[in-house]
Amino acid sequence: MLLDKDNLHDVFLGLGSNIGDRGENLHNAINKIEERIGNVIATSAFYVTKPVGFESENSFLNAACLIKTKLRPMQVLQETQLIETEMGRKTKSENKIYVDRIIDIDLLLFDDEVYVNDKLTLPHPHLHERDFVLLPLSEIAGDYIHPVLHKTINQLKAEIS
């Protein structure tokens, strides 16, 4: 693994679960993140939200967390996807087709980096459109400035509320 030995990066992750014991799923994911990615510095409260982009009888439990890590963006993505798979997630959402899931871990922000390749876009391209992301994220990073939109998380949340 390529580690930034001298630099710790601030990484904000969004978490969601809408099947099984949702609270336990989020706690398990946060524990695995701490073990494999870096120190969990802050975690938001858990918020009950409605599914977005698909119909389901199952509400989501969503949260956000701040991690300090030496990993680079693609390494964080790889680890989060492994955690999802280990926890029982069978498929990833593709082409805006969403399904119920035991766990979903999204990279929202990585320092102030703007990063784009075929597997990862940072900041998360839909972060500013999703209340279920902005609500928990504003709790732990309300004054954080979006590196592309140049607005705080609190400002972005106010725009869609």
**Mean of per-residue pLDDT scores for the chain:** 91
Give the chain's end-to-end CA distance (angstroms, integer).
Answer: 41
Residue 53 pLDDT greater than 80, yes or no: no
Stretch 127-144: mean pLDDT, rounded?
A: 96
How many CB atoms within 10 Å of residue 93?
Answer: 12
pLDDT the model gives residue 85: 92
Stretch 133-141: mean pLDDT, rounded?
A: 97
pLDDT the model gives residue 62: 97
- Domains defined for the chain, CATH in brackets: 9-160 (3.30.70.560)
What beta strand segments (E) does 72-159 contain? 104-110, 115-116, 121-122
pLDDT in tens, 118-129: 999 999 999 999
Residue 39 pLDDT greater than 80, yes or no: yes
Phi/psi for 142 (5° steps) reads: -60, -35
Q: How far is CA 73 from the centre of its chain?
A: 13
Are the beta carbons of 53 and 33 closer than 8 angstroms?
no
Nearest by Cα to 158 from 146, 144, 142, 147: 142
